Amino acid sequence: MARSSKSGRRPYRLGRRAEASDETRRRLVEATFALHAERGIAETSMKDIAERAAVSVGTVYHHFPSYAHAIVACGAYTAEHAPAPSAAIFAGTDTREERVVRLVRAMFDYYERVPALESVRRDRHLTQELDVFAREEARNRHLLAAEAVGKRGPVALAAALADIDVYRALRREGFGTADAADRVAALLNLASSGAPSPGRR
């Protein structure tokens, strides 16, 4: 009977250990995400992650054999919790003007939710995954810009105005995210309406 009792407790103990391990990993990934937003990817270390998650450096290495593994885990977390805008943002829109507003609002909201995107671009040389992420972000933004203004519209201008650098510049000047998006959308709609404007078309 004693052996049977011990055997019955073992799966329970293993389950508790797995839960604790999963919880620790979640804390480490969330700490990495926060540090990348605050300091940048290149400026974050495994020690920083350990301190933010309140664990030992050894625990960090137990879950992530290298910093590159931590970056990959953070990227997966970002994709799950703050996915990039897709063509679904245009659902129910009937006009170009509406699509442009949806485009800029969705992109600016995305930048607010993923503040480390600037660091991804700057530090893309660190890992192949970062470089792929940066290239996919640019490709997705251009595709959405083309859908918003039409392939004959000012696609390059739309992609540029919906870029994170424009968002950051406006935020530094004191514009709120929603206000900045609406002002950029108004300018882009003016440029798309056929009125004379500088830049490529």
Q: Give the model's pLDDT for residue 12.
A: 59
Q: Give the model's pLDDT for residue 17.
A: 67
| Same domain assignment for residues 23 and 99 | no
Residue 198 lies in a domain: no
The pLDDT tens digits of the residues spanning 125-175 come to 999 999 999 999 999 999 999 999 998 899 999 999 999 999 999 999 999
CA distances from 156 to 138, 143, 148, 191, 192 (A): 11, 10, 12, 12, 11
The pTM for the full model equals 0.83
Task: pLDDT band for 25, please (50, 70, 90 cuts).
Answer: very high
**Total of domains in the chain:** 2
Phi (first) and psi of residue 7, to 5 degrees: -65, -35
Average confidence (pLDDT) over 67-87: 95
67: containing domain: 2-80
| Same domain assignment for residues 174 and 109 | yes
Among candidate residues 80, 97, 132, the one where a domain is terminated:
80
Does residue 108 have a pLDDT over 70? yes
Residue 155 lies in a domain: yes
| Same domain assignment for residues 12 and 64 | yes
Residue 88 lies in a domain: yes
Give the number of C-alpha atoms closer than 13 A to the C-alpha of residue 51, restricted to the C-beta side: 6
Q: Give the model's pLDDT for residue 6.
A: 53
| Same domain assignment for residues 90 and 182 | yes
Identify which of 162, 124, 117, 122 has the alpha carbon closest to the alpha carbon of residue 141.
162
